[in-house]
Amino acid sequence: MSAVSTQVETHSHAEDQSTAQWLWSILTTVDHKTIGRLYLLSGLLFFVVGGVEALAIRLQLSVPNADFISAQRYNELFTMHATTMIFLSVMPMAAGFTNFFLPLQIGARDVVFPRLNAYSYWLWLAGALFINSSFLVGAFPDGGWFGYANMSGTQYSPGPAMDFWNIGLMILGLSSMTAGFNFITTVLNLRAPGMSLFRMPVLTWMFTVVQFLVVMSFPMLTVAQILLLFDRNYGTNFYIPAKGGDPLLWQHLFWLFGHPEVYILILPSMGIVSEVLPTFSRKPLFGAPFVIFSGILIGFLGFGVWSHHMFTTGLGPVADSAFSLTTMLIAIPTAVKIFNWIATMWGGKLRFTAAMYHAVGFIALFTIGGLSGVMHASPPVDLQHQDSYFVVAHFHYVLFGGSVIGLFCGMYFYWPKMFGRMLSERLGKIGFWFFFVGMNLTFFPMHFLGVQGMPRRIFRYEEGLGWETSNAIASVGAVIIAIGTAIHLYAMLSSFLRPQDAPSDPWDGATLDWAIASPPHHYNFAVIPEVHSDRPFWDEKHENGPVVSQEKLAGPGEHHVPMPPPSYWPLVAAFFTAGVFIAFMFGKGADGFDLEAFKVQVAIQSVFALGMLLSILAWIREDATHR
């Protein structure tokens, strides 16, 4: 069995393939780079979907007493906008960068479990399609992305809409957790010789912290969701006050997940910016260990602040004070990072590329969002802000101004490495200004709206409350963001129409990922480099350091690297896994437990569980026979 074939890449290879072969190669890929590209492009696609949902929301709110969208449709839109942006857009885009660059930056040829990596992607795709397939049966989730009990229970959400949300999110969670096990093991175990933990690039460090947050926080969400599932399907009493249950249990479990989740969303962007700023300042990152330790500290503290989402639930002064304190504490490591980024630019030879525009914009916008965050760390202030547009303004500054702008910064910086094509600098800068102006127009007035008393999640407001101007400005801003998105997408799409033109090191980078071809060969590194500093490639180029670049390390034509062969089992296993979850849709009784429905569910579930078991067996057998 020569399945462990050696792929010596030739450039014309891709063009010989038919479309079917190309599709098959995607479906069976176990290459972390292909999987990374899939995550990134899928995330971009859902960014458009979530953006269209946001535009519809802004259309409805653009004028008072608007009648474009019904209240029900509006609930569906804000639920799906948040769910899409968080789980189907920002997380997969970050996962795309993680997949592609984490192995490259530590000098590895792939992740430790390449097939498990493919499994994570297909499972994610299944969950994403499943949530959105609710559209087909006319039951879009409408209970908010936070799915508060007992709003999400059968009493107030009787139809299948919240089942789609609940079960779909469980699938996405499982996908993220399996990816987390994979990446943590990769970082700890697959580093090139000499690549000690504190020689790892800050980007890889932030990805690592994120993976730890994922594997520790998602199980708590999963439990919260299982209890909700049992309440909805089998008539248990977890969130039913009439039976002694407490809806606050959901809030605790959800925010125990939900607050680490916001760091899952922002830390990858912080990592990207920490790579971009030093590169375009031609200086090392100022106080890099402080940035890394701040990231770790943010991750730790992220688990101790969940109740600041619940100040208005009346936890009592002691709990409120404690959570207020921990929340304010998080501002310290965050501010450390901001000062370090600024100090990195100080005295540097700045080059204002499109990526640098985004990075500097990130610092400014994220700081504004961070400051309003510290404001509602104080319970008395938060009591005024809760459920008002002030909160919407805050988290859009950190999520759009922070996460999204950081990820687009990553696009302009890393696209050449990922796809072998340069993105238009001009379009990137124009797109940035549309983003920057658009997002400030959209979200800054929301601070005022919030303080003026406009509540979140209302689909219509009366005239004469003084909210008209701000809302109109916000809606104009949303359109400007949409134009910016179109410009960025055009830059990306048009890059595919040109031949590959990216040099291996377009920005004079410092890390190992720039020391190999753009896009990298199938095997990444012909020879695993030995690392002697935290900027190995920079040292080779500018400091007469040891050689790490592949052209010099390996002669041409002698690349003979065994890589894991493609496999369709991840796709098959993901299909059956998703089926096991989706079968819960059939087990829901009309009112409480329904034995007949339960039997149907178990029957379907058994089939899928058997398929899952067999595909796992085949997966392991493939391992045994191919080695």
Catalytic residue among 456, 460, 532, 619: 456
Asked whether the bond before 268 is cis by omega within 30 degrees of 0, the reply is no
243 near other proteins, judged by CB under 8 A:
yes
Reply yes or no on whether 334 is catalytic. yes
180 near other proteins, judged by CB under 8 A:
yes
Shortest Å, Cβ 268 to other proteins: 19
Provide the sign of the torsion angle of the four alpha carbons 585, 589, 594, 600, taken in this order.
negative
Reply yes or no on whether 176 is catalytic. yes
Does residue 86 contact residue 486 with C-beta atoms inside 8 Å? no
Per-residue x/- mask for other proteins, residues 481 to 520, rule CB under 8 A?
----------------------------------------
182 near other proteins, judged by CB under 8 A:
yes
- Nearest Cα neighbor of 470 from 451, 487, 483 is 451
* Rounded CA separation 373/392 (Å): 11
Shortest Å, Cβ 262 to other proteins: 18
Task: Tell me which of 49, 59, 63, 226 binds other proteins, using CB under 8 A.
Answer: 226
122 near other proteins, judged by CB under 8 A:
no
Bridge-partner residues for 455, per DSSP? 388
Reply yes or no on whether 263 is catalytic. yes
**Which residues ranging from 257 to 296 are in contact with other proteins (CB under 8 A)?**
none
Tokens of 336: 């450390």
Catalytic residue among 334, 388, 485, 615: 334
Reply yes or no on whether 308 is catalytic. yes
The piece of 191-199, 442-450, 456-464, 539-547 that touches other proteins (CB under 8 A) is: 191-199
Shortest Å, Cβ 63 to other proteins: 45
The one-letter code for the residue type at 262 is V
Burial (0-12, 13-18, 19+ Cβ within 10 Å), 236: middle
Tokens of 111: 């992740």
Tokens of 191: 């580093």
The piece of 45-53, 141-149, 312-320, 526-534 that touches other proteins (CB under 8 A) is: 526-534
* Rounded CA separation 76/168 (Å): 15
552 near other proteins, judged by CB under 8 A:
no
Tokens of 266: 């922002």
4 near other proteins, judged by CB under 8 A:
yes
Coil, strand or helix at 89 = helix
Task: Pick the closer one to other proteins by CB: 119 or 436.
Answer: 119
612 near other proteins, judged by CB under 8 A:
no
Shortest Å, Cβ 566 to other proteins: 12
Reply yes or no on whether 175 is catalytic. yes
Task: Tell me which of 246, 425, 468, 508 binds other proteins, using CB under 8 A.
Answer: 246
For 29-58, b/e burial (b = at least 16 CB within 10 A) is bbbbbbbbbbbbbbbbebbebbbebbbbbb
Task: Pick the closer one to other proteins by CB: 95 or 363.
Answer: 95
Catalytic residue among 76, 110, 163, 540: 110
* Rounded CA separation 173/332 (Å): 30
* Rounded CA separation 144/46 (Å): 18
Catalytic residue among 308, 488, 522, 541: 308
**Which residues ranging from 25 to 44 are in contact with other proteins (CB under 8 A)?**
30
184 near other proteins, judged by CB under 8 A:
yes
Render 469-534 in DSSP notation, one character per residue.
Answer: HHHHHHHHHHHHHHHHHHHHHHHHHHHHHSPP---S-TT---SGGGGS-SSPPTTS-SSPPP--SS
Task: Tell me which of 457, 552, 560, 599 binds other proteins, using CB under 8 A.
Answer: 560
CB atoms within 10 A of CB 409: 28
CB atoms within 10 A of CB 390: 25
Count of residues near other proteins by CB under 8 A: 69
CA angle 452, 308, 444 (to 5 degrees): 35
Per-residue x/- mask for other proteins, residues 591 to 610, rule CB under 8 A?
-xx-----------------
123 near other proteins, judged by CB under 8 A:
no
* Rounded CA separation 201/274 (Å): 9
Place of tokens 């190992």: 512
Per-residue x/- mask for other proteins, residues 76 to 115, rule CB under 8 A?
--------------------------------xxxxxxxx
Bridge-partner residues for 388, per DSSP? 455
Reply yes or no on whether 626 is catalytic. no
Does residue 588 contact residue 30 with C-beta atoms inside 8 Å? no
Does residue 396 contact residue 79 with C-beta atoms inside 8 Å? no
The piece of 12-20, 135-143, 189-197, 277-285 that touches other proteins (CB under 8 A) is: 189-197
Shortest Å, Cβ 561 to other proteins: 6
Catalytic residue among 261, 275, 505, 540: 261
Does residue 98 contact residue 268 with C-beta atoms inside 8 Å? yes
List of residues contacting other proteins (CB under 8 A): 4, 30, 108-116, 177, 180-182, 184-185, 188-192, 195, 215-220, 222-224, 226-227, 230, 234-238, 243-246, 249, 253, 256, 525-528, 554, 558-564, 592-593, 617, 620-624, 626-627
* Catalytic residue list: 81, 110, 145, 175-176, 259, 261, 263, 274, 308-309, 334, 337, 456
